[in-house]
Amino acid sequence: MDPYDASDLTPRQSASSRLKDYFIGATPLQKRLESVRKQATFVSTPPRKKIPQCSQLQEDVDPQKVAFLLHKQWTLYSLTPLYKFSYTNLKEYSRLLSAFITAEKQKGLAVEVGEDFNIKVIFSTLLGMKGTQKDSEAFLVQILSKSQPPSENTEGKVLWTGWFCCIFGDSLLETVSEDFTCLPLFLANGAESNTAIIGTWFQRTFDCYFSPLSINAFNLSWMAAMWTACKMDHYMATTEFLWSVPCSPQSLDISYAIHPEDAKALWDSVHKTPGEVTQEEVDLFMDCLYSHFHRHFKIHLSATRLVRVSTSVASAHTDGKIKILCHKYLIGVLAYLTELAIFQIE
């Protein structure tokens, strides 16, 4: 057995607080077989997962500090580890990045009167946005427009926001060396052109690679089940699903809205094992919705593609757009997204 597999055993056994296990089927025999197989061979295909329930995750994030992260639509990217990134040089990075952005925006443009290129870039760390102590600290990049005249001491409008984080990224941290900082999840809000420029700068400076993170229907159904399972005192939004029917000439969209308390009641009747969510429960939850729809409308939703899931906790679109609505489950949502990002990198 090569040394990688031997060391792989101990973190798994010691992560008892996370209740993370890998298995394919629902029967105990298949669960055991799959965990044995994962330890014995280096599995090239990712096994299906069982995710801890949201309530078990840390809730020590200060609501005020992260309030600006909620209720905004973020575009997701996965990011390979950054080479020689240092948290002490953040001011230096701000300076370099603002110079780069100004240069990029002025490149190839004729001099325009009245166009304001005075922008300021701020790098800052986000405290508390991590799953375990080993996770790298999350940091935030903001592009602000400098207000004119400079005598006003207001900050200026935020043009673009992007932040990098890593929640429970243990599987990636184990494989990289000391010089690399692992922040596999990147979320951006703002103009696409700014995202492209910032992406180019990071790629040149830290030798990393951005790729857009898309969420397939399988993962969206997992998110729907996990977020419906979250206990909420007050439901802000209805639970809504959107399916895209592949038909010509134009694709048809089917939208299905459920009262959130009904969805929770359905989930509770399906959910058997406390503290974990299994593949079978997710499938059963979705099958109940599909069969109910079929009974009324004679349409097989299982033959269509799930494109968007929207709950009171968060809403996700298959193109990689996410909006988080509840600060209590912020870490839980980000943990799952980090897992998807890591899977895409590997």
Partner 1 sequence: MKLRPERVTCPSAPPKGKASGRFENPARSARVTVRPAARMSVLRPLDKLPELNTATILLVSTEDALLQQLADSMLREDCASQLNVHLARSLPLPSSVTRPRIDLIVFVVNLHSKYSLQNVEESLCHVDASFFLGKVCFLATGAGQESHCSIHHNTVVTLARTYRSPLLFCDLKVENFRVTMAQRLVRMLQVCAGHTPGVSALSLVSLLQSPESPSLEDL
Q: Which stretch binds partner 1 (CB under 8 A): 8-16, 52-60, 77-85, 261-269?
A: 261-269
Nearer to partner 1, 140 or 215 (CB): 215
Residue from 54, 224, 284, 342 touching partner 1 (CB under 8 A): that is 284
CA atoms within 13 A on the CB side of 25: 7
Least separation in angstroms between residue 262's CB and partner 1 is 5
Residue from 1, 6, 9, 36 touching partner 1 (CB under 8 A): that is 36
Look-up of token digits 């990147």 = 186
Q: Is 273 in the site for partner 1 (CB under 8 A)?
A: no
Nearer to partner 1, 106 or 269 (CB): 269
Residue from 283, 323, 327, 328 touching partner 1 (CB under 8 A): that is 283
The phi, psi pair for 316, rounded to 5°, reads -135, 140
| Rounded Cα distance, 326 and 310, in Å | 12
Q: Is 5 in the site for partner 1 (CB under 8 A)?
A: no
In this structure, the strands spanning 305-310 and 314-317 are: antiparallel
Least separation in angstroms between residue 250's CB and partner 1 is 12
Do 311 and 224 touch, CB atoms closer than 8 A? yes
Residue from 269, 273, 275, 346 touching partner 1 (CB under 8 A): that is 269
Look-up of token digits 């639509």 = 73
Q: Which stretch binds partner 1 (CB under 8 A): 64-72, 102-110, 186-194, 299-307?
A: 299-307
Residue from 11, 193, 265, 346 touching partner 1 (CB under 8 A): that is 265
Does an H or E element contain 333, and which?
Answer: helix 330-345
| Rounded Cα distance, 22 and 37, in Å | 10
Do 162 and 190 touch, CB atoms closer than 8 A? yes
Residue from 98, 194, 228, 304 touching partner 1 (CB under 8 A): that is 304
Tell me the sheet residues that pair with 322.
74, 316
Q: Which stretch binds partner 1 (CB under 8 A): 133-141, 169-177, 254-262, 329-337?
A: 254-262
Give the max Cα distance, the chain: 72
The phi, psi pair for 154, rounded to 5°, reads -80, 160
Q: Is 211 in the site for partner 1 (CB under 8 A)?
A: no
Contact pattern from residue 313 through residue 342 relative to partner 1, giving x for each residue in contact according to CB under 8 A and a dash for the rest: -----x------------------------
Q: Give the residue from 144, 38, 165, 148 showing the smallest Cα distance to 101.
A: 144
Rounded alpha-carbon distances, angstroms, from residue 37 to 41, 47, 224, 244: 6, 10, 29, 37
Least separation in angstroms between residue 45's CB and partner 1 is 6
| Rounded Cα distance, 101 and 283, in Å | 47
| Rounded Cα distance, 179 and 85, in Å | 8
Q: Which stretch binds partner 1 (CB under 8 A): 76-84, 139-147, 153-161, 266-274?
A: 266-274
Residues in the site for partner 1, rule: CB under 8 A?
Answer: 24-25, 29-30, 33, 36-37, 40-41, 45, 47-48, 214-218, 221, 246, 252-259, 262-263, 265-266, 269-270, 280, 283-284, 286-293, 296-297, 300, 302-306, 318
